[in-house]
Chains A and B, each alone.
Chain A
Amino acid sequence: MQTIAVIDYGMGNLRSVTKALEHVVSNNQRVILTSAQKEVAAADKVVFPGQGAARDCMRAIDDYELRDTIINVARNKPFLGICMGMQVLVHASEENGGTDCLSLFPGEVKYFGDHLVNTKGEKLKVPHMGWNQVQQTRPHPLWRGIKDNSRFYFVHSYYLETETADLETGHCHYGKSFTCAIAKDNVFAMQCHPEKSADAGLQLLTNFVQWDGQS
């Protein structure tokens, strides 16, 4: 029996992620929602979700004493970061006056700004909320069966900026272009919510539960 651990550190709606994973796992897999170091470390695959503000997220990771565990599993198991679970993997976020993150990857998380406009010069709302197109910037096992430029559900006010081109695997546009999915070795992480993205999202989660962590 394979175990897929969803890391519960008190941030956001983890029920949705768990339910969507339960919908796609095979008979020899089970999904657990856990905040225990041991269970996360022992799992075969790890999902790291997150919602809310960056500082609260980082604080919760430390309150639950999960920092080292997360860093370790992100180095050696199939690992899926979602939303804030992607943002805190990089060096730092602009949110809350500057928040140091886990520094697993180079990159910074920035605010969309209060004066975001589209190509027609019309004001864009922040948060970026709803279904936007994800351009697959390079092939990855987790994109299998998902058409390029498929729409995924987003809800965020901060976006990832990374200068490391080989990290980006998905791209999106909302007033500006930004990286919405990254991948390196056994890690795949995305800004959008696969658990809320209907068929495309379920396909991505299916690909993840079947993934051996090789990119």
Chain B
Amino acid sequence: MGLAKRIIPCLDVDNGRVVKGVKFVEIRDAGDPVENARRYNLEGADELTFLDITASSDNRDTMVHVVEDVASEVFIPLTVGGGIREIADVRKMLNAGADKVGINTAAVFNPDFVKQAADKFGSQCIVVAVDAKRVSQPEEPNRWEIFTHGGRKRTGIDALEWVQRMDEYGAGEILLTSMDRDGTKQGFDNELTRAVSEAVKIPVIASGGVGTLQHMADGVLEGKADAVLAASIFHFGEYRISEVKAHMKSCGIEVRE
């Protein structure tokens, strides 16, 4: 027995409410963040990830209150991402009770920000969120690039080189989302996940595309992910965390029961 593979529900929060966007377009309301967090904790979630998708910066402080409320009631690791652009944003979220922050776009535009944040607060609380999309043709060797703006803008940065650089810069973990799969329910891009997981020393969380219990298990078995993240299958009650764990266990994966 040893370290368990983690199952992480992700909650997208818009103006203080949990929502789920499919490919970042259609947004459906899924309720109160604290209630959701409490329920996931009871069901055995190993961590929680909150992604602030609030468009207006005027409403950003709403997220701080959400984090404060959740951290007062739920005692498992809490990651907050979305709109983390400067050291002050990191400090604000950690002070509110987050254990880790997810840095995405800001890392692409200013990679040194990751270094500075890791130096200041420790690698353990810096998660670099990576949105990758396959750019190779079917007959070519696999190649993925980093995309920004919800998968719309190509950056020209090779995904594998990028994650290695982030590892060197002091990231504590990589949250890897396949923009090809996100919202499709076709399963993770396990080739991408495996390539990234084998390229870095730090843990990798697979994200984007889960539709079935087997998809979660495959992220670990085929993608070699250290943790698997999903949103919609949990929010709309399709599956409970406990069902995911039971299924993963039946596939020979070590989970926290």
Residues of A within 8 A of B (CB): 11-13, 15-16, 19-20, 22-23, 51-53, 114, 118, 123-133, 149, 151, 153-156, 173-174, 195-198, 201-202
In the complex, the answer to whether B3 meets A132 with C-beta atoms within 8 Å is yes
* CB-nearest residue of chain A to B123: A127
Partner of A132, one of B2, B94, B173: B2
Having A19-B75, A118-B2, A129-B173, one finds 14 other A-B pairs with CB under 8 Å, namely: A13-B97, A13-B125, A16-B71, A22-B72, A125-B202, A125-B226, A127-B203, A130-B6, A130-B46, A131-B6, A131-B46, A154-B3, A195-B75, A201-B75
- Residues facing A in B111-137 (CB within 8 A) are 121-125
Report the interface size class on chain B. 35 or more
* CB-nearest residue of chain B to A84: B122
Q: Which residues of A contact B200 (CB under 8 A)?
A: 125
Q: A12-B121, A12-B122, A16-B99 are in contact. Are A198 and B75 (CB under 8 A)?
A: yes
Tell me whether B41 is interfacial, beta carbon within 8 Å.
yes
In the complex, the answer to whether A13 meets B226 with C-beta atoms within 8 Å is no
In the complex, the answer to whether B97 meets A173 with C-beta atoms within 8 Å is no
In the complex, the answer to whether A19 meets B72 with C-beta atoms within 8 Å is yes
Residue pairs across A and B with Cβ atoms less than 8 A apart, 30 shown, are A13-B94, A13-B98, A15-B71, A15-B95, A15-B97, A16-B97, A19-B75, A19-B97, A23-B72, A52-B121, A52-B122, A52-B124, A124-B3, A125-B201, A125-B202, A126-B202, A127-B124, A129-B124, A129-B172, A130-B46, A130-B227, A131-B4, A131-B256, A133-B1, A133-B2, A149-B1, A196-B77, A197-B75, A198-B41, A202-B75
- Residues facing A in B154-183 (CB within 8 A) are 172-173
* CB-nearest residue of chain A to B202: A125
A92-B20 Cα distance, complex, nearest whole Å: 48
Q: Which residues of A contact B71 (CB under 8 A)?
A: 15-16, 19
Expressed in whole angstroms, the minimum distance between the Cβ of A157 and any Cβ of chain B is: 8
In the complex, the answer to whether B226 meets A129 with C-beta atoms within 8 Å is yes
A151-B73 Cα distance, complex, nearest whole Å: 20
A118-B4 Cα distance, complex, nearest whole Å: 13
* CB-nearest residue of chain B to A24: B75
